[in-house]
Amino acid sequence: MKNIVILISGRGSNMQAIVEAQLPGARIAAVIANRPDAAGLAWAAERGIATAALDHKAFASREDFDAALAAQIDAFAPDLVVLAGFMRILTPGFTQHYAGRMFNIHPSLLPAFPGLHTHQRALDAGCRLAGATVHFVTAELDHGPIVAQGAVAVADDDTADSLAAKVLRVEHQIYPQAVRWFVEGRLTLAGQ
């Protein structure tokens, strides 16, 4: 059984998709948020999943927060840490601690459009395809080795909001699949 710890900052719709997938061989050990009011915490607790909130604003530095977060995560002995809408940039020491066992999902077809405002940037660039990417987390933001991608067609009348909704549906498909592959031992890291 592989222990999975999921990090969220808000409603945690990707966390919900992973939990609802009921992946064989996986146990959601905990859901941890950096915001005490994150709606996903209540959803997880209602399903009997351990939850914790660690308010990043209560720490003097990013390093102090990451050290406390790592201690909280490690208490659940995770095989995999899953960032599911966790809106914090992590320090290199933190990412190195979980190297090869931490995923993120990003709402673009990486390496295109790392960072924020991905949907508007895709529209502004005239992209005909957009999508989402699951990747291993490294110290470089949104640049780790790619595990899975899913694409959607960009319609002429798409807005950033309509495109975001289409991409989110893809995220809810590819993220549980990527976690399944990890749990089944089907992933190998070889460079990028």
Catalytic residue annotation: 106
CA distances from 150 to 31, 108, 134, 188 (A): 25, 9, 9, 20
Which two structure tokens, joined as six digits, stand for 170? 């893809």
Radius of gyration of the CA atoms of the chain, in A? 16
Instruction: List the Cα angle 24/27/30 in 5-degree steps.
Output: 155
CB 73 within 8 A of CB 81: yes
What element of type H or E holds 148? strand 146-153
Rounded to an integer, what distance in angstroms lies between the CA atom of residue 23 and that of residue 185?
Answer: 13
Which two structure tokens, joined as six digits, stand for 104? 């993120």
| Residue 184 backbone dihedrals phi, psi, to 5 degrees | -80, 0
Which two structure tokens, joined as six digits, stand for 48? 């009997």
CB 106 within 8 A of CB 116: no
